[in-house]
Amino acid sequence: MLGLDLPRLNRSIVQTPLYRICGRLKSVTGLMTCNIPAAVGDHCTIVPKEGKPVLAEVIGFENDLAYLVPFDHAEHLQPGMPVIRNGRGMVVPTGPNLLGRVVDGLGRPLDDRGPLIDCPLRPVHRPAPPALERQRIREPFVTNIRAIDAVLTCGRGQRVGIFAGSGVGKSTLLGEIAKGAQADVNVIALIGERGREVGPFLEDCLGPEGMARSVVVVATCEQTPLMRVRASQAAIAIADYFREQGADVLFMIDSLTRLAMAQRELGLMLGEPPSSRGYTPSVFQLLANTVERLGNAAVGSITALMTVLVEGGDLDEPISDAVRSLVDGHIVLDRKIAERGFYPAIDISRSVSRVAHEVIDREHALAARKLRAILATYHEVQDLIRIGAYVRGSSPQVDKALELMPRVEQFLRQDIGERSTFAQTREALLAIAAQWPY
């Protein structure tokens, strides 16, 4: 039959509409309105007299008018322009041939490697795994970052928030974990990033080693809020595909804060009432949906690392507080630690892994608690030491903390590109803990 793929041809024929539903553009006031019978989530094409057609999505309706939001910035629109309903909700390409590629929120390639070939389409909007079908977190997820594997040990299928201000090393930490972590596939969503930073992240932070087993979805800060929101959902759909194949997926999103800001714009367009700091109710529902789609399922796993931009170091602002209540642990990066040239700039005292006790043995857990005790003891008298007010011999416990701190800092400090296996990290941690008798 001339090499025709009859099953695929048959599916295409079935999915092709026999007629087109059209309408006319009525107004553009933030939202676009159109008198077209379409369901929420349907895609429509606006056909201008000049220039490229504009792809938009229906996000609501009132009476006979549908509310549309474009995926790309639209100019030169006029009343009465034809609007064509494309039907069906959003789908994205998936499959092994997507590895090593960079795509946008609609699954269109952004790299120079040509079109996507043999990448089956998958609906973006899918339910989270049922609660009772999720496997429990039993195995450690090794990042090869000593500070995390030793004291903030993660589990395979855990959802972790990384909280930090701008320029404290979030992207660098994500790239190092992506290159060194024990995962079958990396799916990375860069949401609201500056365009200048995408190339350096791919080349320097991720590198050829990390890129070879990664799929990167990019929606930069100048793109429409709809594109930024759908890019995060597309990345989750791609990760979900690999999880269903039984793979252990590492999912990263940078950042949840910019995703929340994009959803806030959409919510305000629809007339939602703003609440805390202007965030609309749909923002917090989107965050919950995003986090719950991740984690373990009946087969496979998605271990998630999600960054949160902390405004002025305030960990209690609305988005930080909401994310912290949803995730299974959080890692706080501190600017003061970073300013000392310390990498990774993790504030151990304010960070926690809620599943660590499930994935490490009792000896490891006891050693981690001792390391925390050393840090806490030192920080209690740190100001006195700086001004020379502490006299050695006043407290044996403080004296021991002062003795061990150089060794602790050397253990927690790790150069970019340096790797430490889980066994090496555990051995070094136990050696330090053995010196702390309290």
Q: Which of 220-229, 277-286, 324-333, 383-392 is predicted with the least confidence, judged by mean pLDDT? A: 383-392
Residues 274, 159 share a domain = yes
Residues 367, 325 share a domain = no
- Of 39, 56, 88, the domain-final residue: 88
pLDDT of residue 430: 96
Asked if pLDDT for residue 7 goes beyond 90, the answer is no
Residues 369, 298 share a domain = no
270 in a structural domain: yes
Q: Which of 250-254, 313-317, 360-364 is predicted with the least confidence, judged by mean pLDDT? A: 313-317
State both tokens at 398: 């403080």
For residues 348 and 184, what is the distance between their CA atoms, to the nearest angstrom? 28
Better-scored residue on pLDDT, 105 or 196: 105
Residues 148, 31 share a domain = no
CATH of the domain at 398: 1.20.1270.330
Residues 169, 39 share a domain = no
For residue range 146-181, what is the model confidence (pLDDT) as tens digits?
999 999 999 999 999 999 988 888 888 988 898 888
- Of 70, 88, 106, the domain-final residue: 88
Beta strands, E only, 240-341:
248-254, 295-296, 301-309, 329-332
State both tokens at 58: 């229906």
Asked if pLDDT for residue 71 goes beyond 80, the answer is yes
pLDDT of residue 20: 66
Asked if pLDDT for residue 8 goes beyond 80, the answer is no
For residue range 15-49, what is the model confidence (pLDDT) as tens digits?
544 446 688 999 888 788 998 888 888 999 998 88
Angle formed at CA 215 by CA 212 and CA 219, multiple of 5 degrees:
135
- Of 88, 106, 130, the domain-final residue: 88
Better-scored residue on pLDDT, 57 or 8: 57
Q: What is the mean pLDDT of residues 109-136?
A: 91
Average pLDDT, the chain: 89
For residues 363 and 383, what is the distance between their CA atoms, to the nearest angstrom? 32
Q: Contact, 137 vs 296, CB < 8 A?
A: yes
Better-scored residue on pLDDT, 63 or 330: 330
High-pLDDT (> 70) share of the chain, %: 95
Residues 110, 62 share a domain = no
Q: Contact, 304 vs 97, CB < 8 A?
A: no
Cross-strand bridge partners of residue 307? 162
Q: What is the mean pLDDT of residues 252-257?
A: 93
H/E stretch holding 22 reads: strand 21-29
Asked if pLDDT for residue 202 goes beyond 60, the answer is yes
Residues 214, 112 share a domain = yes
Distance of CA 321 to the CA centre of its chain: 16
Beta strands, E only, 63-147:
65-70, 82-87, 91-93, 102-103, 121-123, 140-141
Instruction: Tell me the residue range of the domain where 378 lies.
Output: 363-434
For residue range 338-347, what is the model confidence (pLDDT) as tens digits?
988 899 999 9
